[in-house]
Each structure stands twice: as structure tokens, then as C-alpha cells.
Amino acid sequence: MKKWIASGAALVLVALGLAGCGSDRSADLTEARSFEGYELYFAGQQADGFPLTDVRRWEAQQDGGASDDWSFFYGDCRPAGGEGGCPLPVEIQNYPACRRSATLYVRPLNLFDFRGAKATWRGGATLDVYTGNTTVAIFSRGRAAARRVGRQLRTVNQDNASGQLPPPVRGSLHARPQCPAGGG
């Protein structure tokens, strides 16, 4: 559990560091679209009115295994004078459900239905969505914005958000699913 928290915190810090500067590069979805480890979700070319500015793949170590985690960044920020960075308006992180599931949290979660999937609020305004074999974490500027972004979720190979998301893999909300060989 402590390793998961440390690796998750490191991922967020790296992401914030990368996001701390204005981004002049366009986001390339080629690698994400060919990824086969688990289904990847994003909000399309815009999330809550902000353009997709970057896509990152991370190899995360956890519990003796590795997994490929992904982040989709939206918008831009300009740090105030003297500050080292600032968060982007929207970030969508993707994890294999076997590495990050609802069972990782000590306190009981208030799970609710969300477009056919299950979701919970974490840390105030972070929306975690458990769909299929993927856990999607939406970081945004408040719960209303995170909900709007969640309504835009679709796989990286879909042009538009469909009405429903797949339900979480069977048993994943009550027991940690087994990771396939290769870690997801």
C-alpha cells in the first residue's frame, strides 16, 4: 500500500512538473491507439473546452510488477512570477484495474453509477471511474468540471463518447483483480 501511494505521488509530481510549463507540442495519439495492455480512455481532442496538449506513457513499479500507466493532458498554464509550475486544467490518468482498484483504499468508498461504470470521489475533486479493466482518474478544477470531462470519456479509438461505459471487471470492486502476464 505504501509503495502504491509513493509511486502514485511520484507520478503526480512528475506530471505536474511536466505540465508546469506552457506546451507548444501537439499531442500524438499513435502509441496510445496501438497500445494493447488495457483499454485507454480520454475525452477526445478537447476536455471541458481545453485542447489535448500532451499524452504520456509511464512505466510504474508496484508490488513486484510493472505496469504501463497513461496520462492525457488538456490545456495550458503559465506559472505566476517566481513559481516553479502550475497544474493544467484537466488531466486524465489511466491505470490497469489490477494495479489500481477500489480495493486499494482503506476507508469505505461511496461508489455510484456513472455511465454504466462505477465511480467515486477521491481527495475532493478527483473523479475515479472504474470501467472494464481500466481505472480512470480525472483531475480537474472542481467536481462539476470533472463530471463534464467524465461525460466526454471514450476509448482512444472512438471518435465520440458513447452513452455507456463498460461496467468494471467482475469482482474488481471487492477484490483486486489478477494482472495478466506483463502487468497490464
What CATH number corresponds to the domain at position 138? 3.30.200.100
Q: What domain count does the chain have?
A: 1
DSSP 20-75: TS---SPP--HHHHH--SS--EE-TTEETTEEEEEEEEEEEEETTEEEEEEEEEES
Whether 176 is covered by a domain: the verdict is no
In a domain, 40, yes or no: yes
**Does some domain include residue 103?**
yes
Instruction: Taking residues 149-178, report their average pLDDT.
Output: 88
Asked, for residue 171, whether it belongs to a domain, the answer is no
Q: Kind and range of the H or E element at 16?
A: helix 2-19
Q: Is 118 contained in some domain?
A: yes
| Domain membership flag for residue 177 | no
Does the residue 70 lie in any domain? yes
Give the C-alpha separation, 44 to 5, whole Å: 29
Instruction: Tell me the mean pLDDT in the region 85-105.
Output: 87
Cα separation, 25 vs 15, in Å, equals: 16
Q: Is the pLDDT of residue 72 over 80?
A: yes
**Is 175 inside any structural domain?**
no
The answer to whether 90 and 139 are in contact (CB under 8 A) is yes
Helix residue spans in 111-182 (DSSP H): 143-152
pLDDT recorded at residue 16: 43
pLDDT in tens, 10-66: 444 344 444 444 444 457 999 999 999 999 999 999 999 999 999 999 887 766 666
CA distances (Å), 10 to each of 20, 89, 155, in order?
Answer: 15, 19, 26
Domain limits for position 62 = 2-155
Is 175 or 94 the better-scoring residue by pLDDT?
A: 94
